[in-house]
Chain A
Amino acid sequence: MKKVLSPARRRRNRKTALVYIPLVLFAIVAILPLYYLVITAMKSLAEASTQATMFPHSFALFENIRFVLTHPDYDVVRMFTNTMAVFALKTLGTTITCSLAGYAFAVYRFPHKNVIFIILLATMMIPGEILGIPIYEFMVNTGLKEIAYIPLWIACWFATDVFMIFLFKQFFQTIPKAYIEAARIDGYSELRIFWKIAVPLNRPVFVTAILLYFIGTYNDLYGPALYVSNQSDWLMANSITIFENLYRSGGSSYLVPWNYVSVASLIAMVPEVLLFSFMQKQFMESVSGVGIKG
């Protein structure tokens, strides 16, 4: 009797199998781009540009890397430093100012606070172009356009990412009011309450915010396409085009050296992958809390 599985148990086993099949199928779909990027990076120029093999016949990874790194236009150290500097400034600015603003909206109470918040939220609908045109005009007229990537990061220090304010607000709302009252009675200043109580209690949301924001803006081509023109200022995003257009000669059809493009793409992904793998555990823990709180 004990060896025979009960009908309920058998049903559960079948259900588990039914879950694993689509799970694995979609996992393949999700991995495919990355896998293809990696194997294309290994192929020789001839194979990469003429054949779509799933398993490379040639192995030219090191030659490809050498070719990309020694290409005269591809200054990897400089592009990497530029990218890191810009994105550190952006992410830091957004995290600091948006967490402060989110805290203010979550903790303090006064009439019409929600009206202010709804007005802020409504700005998410405004297309970037409506704002971008005058800002571009301003940056060109004042000559700030080419100085230290100011157009790319300056807005981040003014808590302009409303989604981030919203995210922080949702989390800070869960701090029990009594903690804050108690700290006030103990003579803590408001900033100290934020720093010593609110921040430590909500560390996961900072991880989430940093990661989401970094990846989100790293994917964005709008800013770099608009404000980065000098070759010495190029960011990682610009590096792909060097190799995409390597054999371009004016005509509409031209050979794209996918192996070099893939190597350049993989190198450009290094910062993201590093950040993701460092923060992944905390990140995955915290995302399960994003929607529920508040």
Chain B
Amino acid sequence: MEKRELNKILKRGYRKEYKYFLWFAGIALLGFVLFYFLPILRTAILSFTDRTIFGADPRFVGWDNYLYALTEDALFKKSLTQSLVFAAGSGVLVLVTSLMLAMLLNAKVKGIGIFRTIYFLPFIIPAFAVGAVYKNILNPNTGLINRILEFFGVANAPLWYVSPQSALLTMILISAMGFGVKMLVFLAALQGIPPTLYEVADIEGASAFRKFWKITLPLISPMLFLNVIMITIDGMKSFSLAFVMGNGSGWPANSTLLFPIYMFMTAFNMPFRLGYAAAMAWLFFLVILAMTGLNFLISRYYVQKDVSV
């Protein structure tokens, strides 16, 4: 009897909290339905049709779009592979750079505030300007880098973004400059580590490497995991840089054609094949889902569970 009474009171309490929750988060839930749930449903339906934006009545084509993408469309395979290569390459680069820079910025030396601002500069230069700057610096004939290489007597200086062989690699290198937010996340995590831990390690005579391996890395592992997830997804979804470097179409010779660019071209350039693009978007989603799942599996081996940093 008493327990039922208690449950009743609890439920009434929950009801009130629930009502307030809906006041505040109602718009977010509505947004979820309007901008996530319904579009996903619609994309799923579209992917089984041959809909184009201006075309007449779309026909139901079954699994044809999926089969075409998986078996016949060479560009599908090429762009997906390139996106995977890009995500892996740029992911590792960004992760290493951002962690290294965060550790540098965490040093307690004079003027560190100025360096923090300077390191954030690449982040405030918009992607469209970044692309232009690097195209200029890396221009094979007139660019700064090749001039320097020439000066040091390098005969066959690389063609960078102009050659299909090196364009993707060039883009990966440039993307390393996108460390801004990840660096800040690492910096925040590093600042949460109690200095006493390092002092104890110093007394015990631990080497710098050992301190990094046994103290720093385990303690920032939750943030490391967050960054790995974000970097992987960002890399797969990367659009702006490739759009600028490849003139919006994967130039030269589709070598910078990342998957989002290809999907964009299929859906929004003539002849606006929305149905086929929708099928590709779903396949892409499955790939990202698999990669995130893989990340979660791997994370078991490096994320420290009982860290409260």
- The answer to whether A and B belong to the same complex is yes
Chain A residue with Cβ nearest B309: A292
Given contacts A123-B32, A126-B40, contact A30 B119 (CB under 8 A): yes
Chain A interface, number of residues (Cβ within 8 angstroms): 91
Distance in angstroms between the alpha carbons of A54 and B148 in the assembled complex: 10
| B126 and A269 contacting across the interface, CB-CB below 8 Å | yes
Distance in angstroms between the alpha carbons of A130 and B286 in the assembled complex: 11
> Which A86-140 residues have a C-beta within 8 angstroms of B?
97-98, 100-101, 103-105, 108-111, 113, 116, 119-120, 123-137, 140
A-B pair count, CB < 8 Å, reads: 269
A165: chain B residues at CB < 8 Å are 28
| A127 and B260 contacting across the interface, CB-CB below 8 Å | yes
A149: chain B residues at CB < 8 Å are none
Shortest distance from the beta carbon of B89 to any chain A beta carbon, whole Å = 18
A116: chain B residues at CB < 8 Å are 29
| A219 and B107 contacting across the interface, CB-CB below 8 Å | no
Shortest distance from the beta carbon of B100 to any chain A beta carbon, whole Å = 8
| B39 and A130 contacting across the interface, CB-CB below 8 Å | yes
> Which B113-140 residues have a C-beta within 8 angstroms of A?
113, 115-119, 121-130, 132-137, 139
Distance in angstroms between the alpha carbons of A199 and B138 in the assembled complex: 47
| A105 and B17 contacting across the interface, CB-CB below 8 Å | no
A194: CB under 8 A from chain B? yes
A191: chain B residues at CB < 8 Å are 23
A37: chain B residues at CB < 8 Å are 125, 129, 133
Shortest distance from the beta carbon of B16 to any chain A beta carbon, whole Å = 9
Distance in angstroms between the alpha carbons of A108 and B19 in the assembled complex: 9
Given contacts A225-B243, A240-B129, A276-B124, contact A136 B268 (CB under 8 A): yes
| A30 and B24 contacting across the interface, CB-CB below 8 Å | no
A261: CB under 8 A from chain B? yes
Main secondary structure of the interface of A (DSSP, over half): helix
| A221 and B284 contacting across the interface, CB-CB below 8 Å | no
B213: CB under 8 A from chain A? no
> Which A60-100 residues have a C-beta within 8 angstroms of B?
97-98, 100
Shortest distance from the beta carbon of B79 to any chain A beta carbon, whole Å = 12
| B126 and A218 contacting across the interface, CB-CB below 8 Å | yes
| A126 and B125 contacting across the interface, CB-CB below 8 Å | no
B248: CB under 8 A from chain A? yes
Given contacts A109-B17, A128-B237, A129-B284, contact A268 B188 (CB under 8 A): no
> Which B263-285 residues have a C-beta within 8 angstroms of A?
263-264, 267-268, 274, 277-278, 281-282, 284-285
A240: chain B residues at CB < 8 Å are 128-129, 132
A108: chain B residues at CB < 8 Å are 17-18, 20-21, 24
B125: chain A residues at CB < 8 Å are 33-34, 37, 269
Distance in angstroms between the alpha carbons of A162 and B113 in the assembled complex: 30
B159: CB under 8 A from chain A? no
Distance in angstroms between the alpha carbons of A159 and B282 in the assembled complex: 24
| A135 and B39 contacting across the interface, CB-CB below 8 Å | yes
B243: chain A residues at CB < 8 Å are 221-222, 225
In the complex, per-residue mask of A127-170: 1 if CB is within 8 Å of any chain B CB, else 0: 11111111111001000000000000001011110000100000
Task: State the 9 A-B residue pairs at the shortest beta-carbon distance, nearest first.
Answer: A158-B31, A291-B188, A104-B24, A159-B28, A104-B25, A134-B42, A101-B28, A265-B129, A130-B281
Extra contacts besides A135-B35, A212-B181 (5): CB < 8 Å: A123-B36, A127-B288, A133-B46, A133-B277, A262-B133
Give B residues with C-beta under 8 Å from A. 14, 17-18, 20-21, 23-25, 27-32, 34-36, 38-40, 42-43, 46, 53, 101, 104-105, 107, 109, 113, 115-119, 121-130, 132-137, 139, 142-144, 146-147, 177, 181, 184-185, 187-189, 191-192, 223, 233, 236-237, 239-240, 243-244, 248, 260, 263-264, 267-268, 274, 277-278, 281-282, 284-285, 288-289, 292, 309
Instruction: List 27 contacting pairs A-B, 8 Å CB cutoff, sorted by A.
Output: A16-B109, A19-B104, A20-B109, A27-B118, A27-B119, A50-B142, A51-B142, A101-B25, A105-B25, A110-B14, A127-B284, A129-B263, A129-B264, A129-B281, A129-B284, A131-B39, A133-B278, A134-B38, A134-B42, A160-B31, A219-B127, A222-B239, A237-B126, A240-B128, A240-B132, A272-B124, A289-B188
Give A residues with C-beta under 8 Å from B. 16, 19-20, 22-23, 26-27, 30-34, 36-37, 40, 49-52, 54, 97-98, 100-101, 103-105, 108-111, 113, 116, 119-120, 123-137, 140, 155, 157-160, 165, 190-191, 194, 212, 215, 218-222, 225-226, 237, 240, 244, 256, 258, 261-262, 265-266, 268-269, 272-273, 276, 280, 284, 287-292
